[in-house]
Amino acid sequence: MASRSLSRHTALLALGFAVSGCDSVLAPVHAVLLQISEIDAPASITQGATLVVRLTVVFGGCRSFERLETTRAAARVTFKAHGRDSSGPRVSCTADVRTQVVESRIEPPLTDPVTLVALQPDASETTRTVRITTR
């Protein structure tokens, strides 16, 4: 009898924790584009070298970071930070702002100059240009 009551109490407590945070099973979770606050890349690299880019992704509260999408064209590399948002009318989200630095390696060949573009949630773009030099 006591173990049944303890199991029921534990189950209710677990349910209470599950519905109290941002990851509520009652909140609709939808995909969002997250802000990339910084593109860190060298000003130039030598032809044939791999370009290493570090991007700072901003998330927090009810938003979580899932993955970085990289699209490459002739002289342009575009980045999108994909995340999930579980906010809703009956969901309490924290006010914390977090960042994560994500590294992307762009293999040669690259065309001089190459433009790095971070697509933002408001449809704006943050860009950096990297020169490709001969040895």
Structure tokens at 18: 């599950």
| CATH number of the domain within which 95 lies | 2.60.40
12 or 122: whose pLDDT is higher?
A: 122
Q: Is the pLDDT of residue 38 over 90?
A: yes
Helix spans in 21-97 (H): none
For CA atoms 97, 85, 23, 21, give the dihedral sign. Answer: positive
Structural domain of residue 69, as residue ranges? Answer: 2-133
pLDDT over 80 (residue 61): yes
pTM: 0.76
Give how many domains the chain has, as a whole number.
1
Q: Is the pLDDT of residue 37 over 60?
A: yes
Residue 12 has pLDDT above 70, yes or no: no
Q: What is the mean pLDDT of residues 20-35?
A: 68
What number is the average pLDDT over the span 71-97?
90
Interatomic CA distance for residues 55 and 40, integer angstroms: 6
Task: Using alpha carbons, select from 129, 95, 127 the residue that is nearest to residue 112.
Answer: 129
Element (H, E) at 78: strand 76-85
